[in-house]
Structures are given as C-alpha cells and as structure tokens.
C-alpha cells in the first residue's frame, strides 16, 4: 500500500467526518449548559440552504469572497433558528425534546421552501488557504489540502475542550448544566448563559450544513444532510460529553464509513448493508435511551440536561 493511497483515503475520511464534528461540537456546548436541542438536522439544513443562497447571490459582487459570506450567513441562519428554539424552551418553558423535534421538522420544511429556487444551481467552492505548492503537493496535501472549514472544525473542538475545562466561563457554563438552581442562587443568569450556548450550537450546526452545500457537493438538494444531524446528536452522548472523545468518535465514524466503501469497491463487505441504512436511526434511538436512562449508563450527562429551568416553582 503506497502513501498516496492512504492519503487519498484520509482525505475522504476528513470530508465525511467534518460536518458531523462541527455539529456535534456545537451540541456539546448546548448540552453542557443543560439544554437538549434535538433540532440539529433542521438547523443544518437551514444553514446549508442559506450558505448556498448567499454564496450564489453575492458571487457576482464578492467573487472569491462569496463563500466566506455564505458561511457567515449560514452561521447566522443557524443562530436565528436556534433562537426560535431558545425562546420556546427557555423563555416559555416548553418541553425540550418536543420542541427540538419540531425544530428539526421545521428546518426540513423551511429549507426546502427557501431552496426551491436554487435547485440545479452551482456555486464556486472555497479557494485553498495555502499556496498550490502545498495544497496540491502529493504528500503535503494530507496537511494542507482541505477546505478552510476542516481546519475551523478542528480548531473549534480544541477551543471548546479548552473553554469547558480550563476557563472560568466554561466552569460557569458547566455549573449551569449540572445544577441550575445553585448557579442561579449565587447570581448567574441561567437563562442568559443557556441562550448563549444554544446560539453557539446553532452557529456550528449552520456551518456544518454549509459544509454539505458548499464543500462536499456545491449544490442545493432538499434534505441533503440525510440524517447527519442525528448522528452528531448521538456522538455527543457516546463521547460522554467530552471534547476529546468527541473528536475521536467523529473520526472513528468517518473511518468506519470510508472503510466500508473501500471494502465494497474491493469486492468484499464486512458489515451487512442494512446496518448502514439503519445507522442514523439506531444512533439516535440509542442516544435518547442513554440520556433518559441517566442513572444507569449516562452518569456523565449534565445533571440538568433536558429539564426546564423554573426557579420560582
């Protein structure tokens, strides 16, 4: 096996993994603050269609910068849709599971509506951050040959790990997720902190969506994220709410999926095909089971996860 072959495979793995990693990193922060947002799939789709539409429409004016405007817009669209969720669950105290599912369905519908006029269009993708000499080098492309969003995703997972474990603000956010009443009684605004966490999760979900419509396949197709939001959700649970394991888990998934493709193309298969078709749903069911059976398996889950904050009742 020559190194070129391995590098090719690794590039595929990175492409498969990045959007899941981005969305899961955002959701990790949300859940650490004690909020369960099941609407990742919907936020991703809204981000995907917004990123595509803005890139498409600003292309003539902005040229090479248009994809950056698109990603920014995708992040903002993710924030906007997450705020809808935020108002419902934080200010109005609605059920987080039901509201999150509603957000997922709403996102699918809204993105299809917005995207109807963009079907069949294409947009240019990002220019490489690095000179062609590095990005196109047969060997060095393994480090330099990716879309800027790939580096952003890695940066974010390390930043979130550092933020949660090494900073005072991260400690406060975790305190809100572990014991909202105590955090409230010593003067922290539980609601404000959770709003901020939900907005961050929305931004990363939006960018994850943009990765589909602007990097993997620069086009818009309805429901193009095809269930990745649910896998991201499951990944947060499987990681035990830790950034390091989240990174490992996301790449484990990416490697597994790529290996399967290589195995099939080479004439054998090590897992039944139905397993792959059922994967997103199995992952979501297991994740929800783990969350709801906290006392059995999910002791690592934030203690207030999914509970509304009602200080006066």
Binding site for another protein (CB under 8 A): 5, 8-9, 11-12, 15-16, 19, 105, 108-109, 112-113, 115-116, 119-120, 122, 212, 216-219, 221-228, 257-258, 261-262, 264-267, 273-274, 276-277
Residue 253, Cα to own-chain centre: how many angstroms? 14
Task: Quote the longest CA-to-CA distance of the chain.
Answer: 65
Q: 178 vs 222, which CB is nearer to another protein? A: 222
CB of 203 to another protein, least distance (A): 21
Rounded Cα distance, 25 and 78, in Å? 14
Residue 308, Cα to own-chain centre: how many angstroms? 23
Extended beta strands in the chain, E state = none
Rounded Cα distance, 44 and 145, in Å? 24
CB of 222 to another protein, least distance (A): 4
Rounded Cα distance, 59 and 122, in Å? 11
Residue 171, Cα to own-chain centre: how many angstroms? 22
CB of 262 to another protein, least distance (A): 6
Decide if 6 contacts 261 (C-beta within 8 A).
no
In terms of Cβ atoms closer than 10 Å to its own Cβ (0-12, 13-18, 19+), residue 202 is buried
Q: 59 vs 308, which CB is nearer to another protein? A: 59
Total Cβ atoms within 10 A of residue 306: 20
Q: 14 vs 160, which CB is nearer to another protein? A: 14
Q: 200 vs 212, which CB is nearer to another protein? A: 212
Rounded Cα distance, 119 and 270, in Å? 36
Q: 223 vs 292, which CB is nearer to another protein? A: 223
CB of 288 to another protein, least distance (A): 21
Rounded Cα distance, 66 and 61, in Å? 8
Q: 191 vs 259, which CB is nearer to another protein? A: 259
Decide if 69 contacts 8 (C-beta within 8 A).
no
Q: Of 110, 99, 101, which Cα lies nearest the Cα of 77?
A: 110
Q: 60 vs 187, which CB is nearer to another protein? A: 60
CB of 265 to another protein, least distance (A): 5
CB of 199 to another protein, least distance (A): 25
CB of 276 to another protein, least distance (A): 5
Q: 122 vs 139, which CB is nearer to another protein? A: 122
CB of 155 to another protein, least distance (A): 22
Contacts of 292 (CB under 8 A, 6+ apart): none
Structure tokens at 53: 């539409």
């Amino acid at each position: 096996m020559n190194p070129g072959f391995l590098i090719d495979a690794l590039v595929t793995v990175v492409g498969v993994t990045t959007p899941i990693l981005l969305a899961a990193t955002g959701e990790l922060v949300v859940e650490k603050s004690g909020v369960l947002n099941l609407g990742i799939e919907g936020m991703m789709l809204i981000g995907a269609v917004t990123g595509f539409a803005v890139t498409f429409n600003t292309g003539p004016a902005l040229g090479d910068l248009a994809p950056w405007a698109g990603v920014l817009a995708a992040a903002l669209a993710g924030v906007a849709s997450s705020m809808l969720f935020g108002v419902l669950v934080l200010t109005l105290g609605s059920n987080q599971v039901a509201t999150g599912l509603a957000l997922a369905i709403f996102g699918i519908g809204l993105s299809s509506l917005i995207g109807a006029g963009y079907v069949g269009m294409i947009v240019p993708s990002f220019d490489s951050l690095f000179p062609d000499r590095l990005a196109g080098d047969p060997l060095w492309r393994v480090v330099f040959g990716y879309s800027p969003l790939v580096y952003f995703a890695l940066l974010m997972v390390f930043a979130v790990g550092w933020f949660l474990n090494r900073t005072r603000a991260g400690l406060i956010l975790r305190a809100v997720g572990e014991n909202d009443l105590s955090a409230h009684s010593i003067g922290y605004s539980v609601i404000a902190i959770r709003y901020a966490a939900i907005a961050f999760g929305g931004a990363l979900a939006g960018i994850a969506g943009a990765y589909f419509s602007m990097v993997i396949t620069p086009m818009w197709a309805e429901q193009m994220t095809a269930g990745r939001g649910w896998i991201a959700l499951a990944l947060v649970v499987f990681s035990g709410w830790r950034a390091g394991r989240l990174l490992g888990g996301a790449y484990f998934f990416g490697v597994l999926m790529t290996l399967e493709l290589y195995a099939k193309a080479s004439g054998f298969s090590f897992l039944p095909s139905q397993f792959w078709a059922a994967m997103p749903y199995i992952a979501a069911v297991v994740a929800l089971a783990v969350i709801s059976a906290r006392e059995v398996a999910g002791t690592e889950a934030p203690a207030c996860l999914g509970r509304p904050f009602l200080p006066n009742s």
